[in-house]
Amino acid sequence: MNGLLKTTSVTSVISVDELLRRTQLLIQERFLVLELFAVAALYYLVLTTAWELVQRQLERRYGRGQGDAAADRR
């Protein structure tokens, strides 16, 4: 899921494009190019890291059931 978040055109159009558009608008107002792009990059990093943690918990929870079923067949 995290890979889809980073590469899917729908999410990139909604999240990354919107994030960069807002950053560019702020750059035009305040002329802080490096600072604003750094904040945008950190924001994106936080979003993808948070989703990775959620995904990891989901995989542990639902992967556990598959592992138990495989152990029962032995």
Tell me: pLDDT of 1 over 70: no
Note the pLDDT of residue 72: 52
Cα(39)–Cα(22) distance, integer angstroms? 11
Which two tokens mark 41?
Answer: 């990059």
Domain carrying residue 43: 2-73
pLDDT confidence of residue 65: 58
At 19-71, the pLDDT tens digits run 788 889 999 999 999 999 999 889 888 887 888 888 888 888 888 656 555 55
Query: Considering its fold, how many domains does the chain have in total?
Result: 1
For residues 74 and 64, give the distance between their C-alpha atoms in angstroms, rounded to a whole number: 16
Q: At 4, is the pLDDT very low, low, confident or very high (cuts 50, 70, 90)?
A: low
